[in-house]
Amino acid sequence: MSIALDQVTKRYQDQPVVNDVSIEVGEGEFFVLLGPSGSGKSTLLRAIAGLTGIDHGRISLHGRDVTHLRARDRGVGLVFQNYALFRHMTVADNIEFALRVRRTKGAARRARRKELLKLVALEGMDERLPGQLSGGQQQRVAVARALAHKPQVLLLDEPFGALDAKIREELRRTIRSVQRELGITTVLVTHDQEEAFALADTIGVMNHGRLLEVGQPTDLYAQPATRFVATFLGAANLLLARQSADGIRFGATPVNAEGAEPLQAGREHEVVAVLRPEEVELAATREELASNFIARGAVEEIVFTGAFERMRVRLLDEPCAAQLLGSGAASDARLEVTRTQHDRRSLPLRAGAQIALGARRLHVLPTPLSSFLACAPTVAEAEELAREPLLERLSTNMKTRVGLRAIAPATEGLGPPTPPFSGVAAIAGGSDSATTVEWLLRHGASEVLVLPRNAPSPTRVFIHWTDEAARRATLAVSASLLRHVSAEAVYLGIVPAGPPGAGRAAPMRALLDARSEAQQSHGLEMRTELAIGETVTELTRNLSTGAAQMLVLGITDIAQGASAYRSLLAAQPGWPVLIVYRPAETRSLPDIAA
C-alpha cells in the first residue's frame, strides 16, 4: 500500500473533525477525497502531509510509519488551493526550492527544472515572477514545485478552486496526464463531484469527519450504500418504499428494484430507494411506459441546460407524494427528472402538463433507518416530540421525515395495528418508557428511539447487544446512525464478573469479530472496550462518563429486554437509547405463528 491510514482521528476542542478514518491507497492510484466543506477532508489531507498532528491512529506511506514524522521528512508534495507560490522568487527558483534545500548541485537542479517545466507545459517561463502568470499557469508551477524532490505521494488540496471553468478543465487534464506519466500515488481533495468523476480511480466520500464510502466512481454512482453519497454524487430522488415478501412497493405499485437485501425474518419493512433523475421515464399515459409505472405527476418547472432538460414534477397520487423525500423540505418534495434532447423532441412538455412516471431503475439503500415516527398518547404530544432537537437534527441530516402517531399502549389490545409501524418509532423518555417500548416492539416496530427531553446531539455512541444474534442488525443500525451525527462509536463488550483468566478469551475474540464486521460489512469504524460486571450497571456507568452520550442496544427477546433495561430507560435525565429488535432466527418462527 502506498498510503495507509489506520483509524485516524483528529479533534478540535473535543469535537472530532476527522473520525476514525481508515483508507488504503494503492501504488500509483489516483484517490479523490470528496465531501462538502467542513467534512474534514482537508484536515485529513494535511494530516497525511504532516502539517496537522492527529490524536489517534496511524499513518504510513509506502509501509513506513510516518505518524510522528515532521512534514519535511515525509517526502510528500503538496499543492494548495491558492497556489502558495513564493512571490518574491522566479518560477525557476520556486521549482528549485526543494532542491536548494537539499543542496542539489546547480546543473542537476537546472536539468530537473527543465524537465518539470516541460511536464507541466510551461517551457521558457523560468524567469517569470508568479505575479506575471495567470492563475492556471501559477497552479502548474505549484504542481511542478511539489514534484521537484520526487515525492512518493502527491497531495492536492482543492487545486482548481480558484480557477474558472475553462482553465479548470485544461489543468485537470494536465494533472491527470502528469499523474499517469509519473505513476505517482495521488490524493486530491475536492467538493466538486464532477471533478472527482473526471480524475479519480477511486473516490472516498466524507461527511461529518467520517469516511462514508469508498469505491470506483461508477459503482458509487450506481450503487451507493448511504443516502448522503446518493445525493452528494449527482442528483437523486429519495423515496420511501416498502419491502415485503412480494418485492418492493412504492405507494400502491410494485416496482423493479435492485440492491434490496433479502427480507429479514419475514417482517415487512420500510426501505429507502434512490431514483436518479435520468432513470425516470415520462409518457403521456401509463400504458405507453416501457418501465414500471410509479405515479402520475404534473410538470411544475422546466429548465433548459443545453444537453439536458431538467424538470421538477409534483406527484399527483397523495400516498405516493407523501413517500417522496426529495432533496428539500419533506412537505414540498418534488421529483427531479432529466431528459435528453432526443426524449424532449419525442414528447414535448410544458409546465402544467400531466404525465405518467416510470422508474427504469430503482436502487434500494441497504440502510435500516428509513424514517421516523414520533409516537405519543396524543397527536399534539407527538408533534412536540417531533420538535426534539436530536430528532430534528437526525431527520434533517438523514433527509427523511418524521411522521406522527397517537398510540395508547394501555387500552389497545395486541391485535395488529393499522397502518403498520414504519421506520424508527420515537418515544419520550420517562419512567414508563420501558412499557411503551415493549408494546411498540410487540406491535411490529423494529427500532425504537427513546428520547429524553432536550437531549443534545451525541458526541459518543455506545453500542451493545445482549445476544450475538442481534449483532448484524445492531451494527447496521449503528453504522447508519453514525453516518448522520459526528460522534465516536464505541462497542462495549460486557462479561460477567468471575474468576480472572478462565473464559476471557472468548469475549475478546467476540470484540475483535465485532470490530472487523463493523468495518467490513458496514463501513463503520469503531473502538472496542471490554467491561466486567453486571450489564445494566456497566452500561449506566459508561454512559455517565461524559456529556452527550447515546446508546444503541440490540435485543432479540422483547420480554427479557424490556425488563432488564427498565431501570436504564427510566433513569433521569437519561440518555437517548436506540433499541434494535431482531427476533433470533430460531425463535422467530413460533413468534410469528403465535
Partner 1 sequence: MKFGAIKNLGQSEPSVIPGFGITLGFTTFFLCAIVLIPLAALVLKAAGMDWERFVAVITSPRALASYRLSFGASLVAATVNMVFGFALAWTLVRYDFPGRKFVDAIIDMPFALPTAVSGIALTTVFAANGWIGQYLEPQGIKVAYTWIGITVALTLIGMPFVVRTVQPALQEVQRDLEDAAETLGAGRFYVFRRIIVPTVLPALLTGFTLAFARAVGEYGSVIFIAGNMPMKTEITPLLIVIRLEEFDYAGAAALGCVMLAISFVMLLAINLLQVWGRKRMMVSR
Residue 145 touches partner 1, criterion: CB under 8 A: yes
For residue 242, the number of C-alpha atoms closer than 13 Å in the C-beta half-sphere is: 19
φ and ψ at residue 151, rounded to 5 degrees: -70, 160
Contacting residues for 23 by C-beta, under 8 A, at least 6 apart: 3, 4, 5, 31, 204, 211, 214
Of 51, 222, 235, 353, the one binding partner 1 by CB under 8 A: 51
CB of 400 closer than 8 Å to CB of 368? no
Any bridge partners for residue 239, and if so which? 273, 324
Task: CB nearer to partner 1: give 98 or 558.
Answer: 98
Question: Closest approach of Cβ 131 to partner 1, in Å?
Answer: 9
The distance of closest approach from Cβ of residue 260 to partner 1 in the complex, given in angstroms and rounded to an integer, is: 47
Among 11, 149, 296, 472, which residue sits at the site for partner 1 (rule: CB under 8 A)?
149
| Burial of residue 170 (number of CB atoms within 10 Å: 0-12, 13-18, 19+) | middle
Complex with partner 1: residue 51 or 298, whichever CB lies closer: 51
Q: How far is the CB of 64 from partner 1 (least distance, A)?
A: 16
Q: How far is the CB of 72 from partner 1 (least distance, A)?
A: 5
Min CB(104)–partner 1 separation in Å: 11
**Site map for partner 1, 3-42, x if CB under 8 A?**
----------------------------------------
49 lies in the binding site for partner 1 (CB under 8 A): yes
- Nearer to partner 1 by Cβ, of 44 and 550: the residue is 44
Helix (H, G, I), strand (E, B) or coil at 173: helix
Residues 6+ apart with CB under 8 A from 300: 311, 312, 313, 314, 334, 351
Residue 118 binding partner 1, by CB under 8 A: no
Tell me if 161 contacts partner 1 by CB under 8 A. Answer: no
**Cα 409 versus chain centre, distance:** 36
Choices 69-77, 343-351, 387-395, 453-461 (CB under 8 A): range interacting with partner 1 = 69-77
Q: Find the length of the chain.
A: 594
CA end-to-end distance (rounded Å), the chain: 54
Closest CA to 119 of 136, 144, 99, 137: 144
Residue 103 or 166 with smaller CB distance to partner 1: 103
For 403, the grid coordinates are 411522521
What gap in Å lies between CA 273 and CA 324, rounded to an integer?
10
Among 146, 275, 391, 552, which residue sits at the site for partner 1 (rule: CB under 8 A)? 146
The residue (of 146 and 313) whose beta carbon lies closer to partner 1 is 146
Answer yes or no whether residue 108 interacts with partner 1 by CB under 8 A.
no
Q: Which of 40, 50, 297, 583 binds partner 1 (CB under 8 A)?
A: 50
In the bound state with partner 1, the residue whose beta carbon lies nearer, of 48 and 424, is: 48
State the minimum distance, in angstroms, from the CB of residue 87 to partner 1: 7
Smallest Cα–Cα separation from 324: which of 397, 420, 237, 262? 237
Return the number of the residue (41 or 210) whose C-beta is nearest partner 1. 41
| Of 50 and 136, CB closest to partner 1 | 50
When asked if residue 580 is in the footprint of partner 1 (CB under 8 A), the reply is no
By beta-carbon proximity to partner 1, the closer residue of 40 and 251 is: 40
Instruction: Select from 78, 313, 461, 475 the one that contacts partner 1 (CB under 8 A).
Output: 78
Measured on CA atoms in the order 249, 254, 258, 261, is the torsion positive or negative?
Answer: positive
Judged by CB under 8 A, the stretch of 140-148, 372-380, 464-472, 507-515 that binds partner 1 is 140-148
Binding to partner 1 by residue 189, rule CB under 8 A?
no
The identity of residue 529, as a single letter, is E
Q: Is residue 162 near partner 1 by the rule CB under 8 A?
A: no
**What is the closest distance, in whole angstroms, from the C-beta atom of residue 2 to partner 1 in the complex?**
17
Our CB check for partner 1 shows the closer of 86 and 304 to be 86
Minimum gap (Å) between residue 202 Cβ and partner 1: 23
Residues of span 88-107 touching partner 1 by CB under 8 A: 88-90, 93, 97-98, 101-102
Decide if residue 350 touches partner 1 (CB under 8 A).
no
Determine the Cα–Cα distance for residues 29 and 12; give it in Å rounded to an integer.
Answer: 30
If one asks whether residue 76 binds partner 1 (CB under 8 A), the answer comes out as: yes
DSSP for 239-308?
A: EEEEEETTEEEETTEEE--BSPPPPSTT--EEEEEEE-GGGEEEESSGGG-SSEEEEEEEEEEEEE-SSE
Should residue 77 be labelled a site residue for partner 1 when binding is judged by CB under 8 A?
yes
Q: Does 74 bind partner 1 (CB under 8 A)?
A: yes
**CA 195 to CA 579: how far, in whole Å?**
41
Q: Which helix (H) or strand (E) holds 494?
A: strand 488-495
Return d(Cα 18, Cα 47) in angstroms, integer.
Answer: 10
Q: What span, in angstroms and rounded, lies between the C-alpha atoms of 313 and 248?
A: 22
CA angle 309, 360, 355 (to 5 degrees): 55
Beta bridge partners of 292: 359
The verdict on 72 binding partner 1 (CB under 8 A) reads: yes
Regarding 363 and contact with partner 1 (CB under 8 A), the answer is no
Residues that bind partner 1 (CB under 8 A): 46, 49-51, 70-72, 74, 76-78, 80, 82, 84, 86-90, 93, 97-98, 101-102, 129, 142, 145-146, 148-149
